Amino acid sequence: MQAFEYVAAKSISEAIDLLSEKGDQARVLSGGTDLIVQVREKRRSLELMIDVKQIPEVNEISYNATDGLVLGASTPCYRIYNNTDIKSAYPGLIDAVSIIGGIQVQGRASVGGNLCNASPAADSIPALIVLNATCAIVGPSGTREIAAKDFCTAPGQTAMGKGEFLTSIKIPIPEKNSSNFYLRFIPRNEMDIAVVGVGASVVLDENHKSFVSAHIALGAVAPTPLYAEEASNLLAGQGISDEIINQAAEAAQAIARPISDMRGTANQRKHLVGVLTRRALNGAVNRVKETE
């Protein structure tokens, strides 16, 4: 591993100053489960690693029925999936967070780190997209917000600029008669990278017979996670049926741009988009109906 400087920042302003000073040669250590591996394997070169785990604002979880969820970017996964409010309101996020690495990894790994690593196959990102999450970014020019669906710009690249870093993720309060679901296909039973991942959220009518609205997002089938806008819009106002869910699955397949690699072929991934979209939508619908 190359030599680098390590600083445990105590405040947001300190982290911004350090990032601005070192530019591309500085990286934030949120959980470190990706960054440390990349540095050790010489896939990433840096001069400074800025640990933000000691900054209170990036480690907080707050939830209420008015503002929804504010999730500190460095909050470890285990704190998220053990939170009863998040389990109840955002089960699709729990689906994703609980399969990021193994138990030991989840003691360090964070949703913010998973998001900033910007892997096309990241599990948390489709789940965040369908929940209409926004990312709070701070930097030399102040604070700004960007939708989770626009956060990743290329493999390993994000919309953050020089001196900026992610402090929190905000998710609005769930609508009435709504729920969400995430699942992925992997060749092994655990601790693997998604061949395809799909997140879905739905809002149903009072009788749970029709879609009021829906959101679908795809992972591992393009250079960045994708929001399947046309597939999502197809469901609005439609009665719940296999036919309309199949149409949405086909529309999701149409935007997938997968590659062939050692984990799967492009054709296999296209097929899996359809299968997993149907399962994710049905999973979200069933979660709403379970509250009847």
Residue reference for tokens 């489960």: 33
Tell me the C-alpha distance between 276 and 198, whole Å. 6
- Res 25: pLDDT: 85
Residue 101 has pLDDT above 90, yes or no: no
User: 189: pLDDT confidence band, cut at 50, 70 and 90?
Assistant: low
| Bridge partner list, 182 | 199
Give the chain's mean pLDDT: 93
Token pair in block for residue 137: 């970014």
- Res 24: pLDDT: 82
- Res 27: pLDDT: 87
Tell me the C-alpha distance between 216 and 233, whole Å. 9
Largest CA distance in the chain: 61
Domain end position, chosen among 16, 36, 51: 51
Q: Are residues 144 and 159 in the same domain?
A: yes
Q: What is the mean pLDDT of residues 62-81?
A: 93
Q: Are residues 42 and 77 in the same domain?
A: no
- Res 55: pLDDT: 94
The predicted model scores a pTM of: 0.94
Q: What are phi and psi of 157, to 5 degrees?
A: -125, 145
Q: Which domain holds residue 187?
A: 178-289
Tell me the C-alpha distance between 106 and 196, whole Å. 21
Return all residues near 168 (Cβ < 8 A) that are at least 6 apart.
Answer: 57, 58, 60, 70, 71, 72, 73, 112, 135, 136
Question: Residues of the chain with pLDDT > 90: what percent?
Answer: 77
More confident residue, 211 or 48: 211
Tell me the C-alpha distance between 94 and 89, whole Å. 10
Q: What is the mean pLDDT of residues 235-251?
A: 98
Q: Are residues 40 and 67 in the same domain?
A: no
- In this structure, what CATH number is given to the domain that contains residue 43? 3.30.43.10
Token pair in block for residue 76: 């470890």
Residue 255, Cβ density class (10 Å: 0-12 exposed, 13-18 middle, ≥19 buried): middle
Q: Are residues 221 and 163 in the same domain?
A: no
Q: State the total domains in the chain.
A: 3
Q: Are residues 159 and 101 in the same domain?
A: yes
Q: Are residues 44 and 135 in the same domain?
A: no
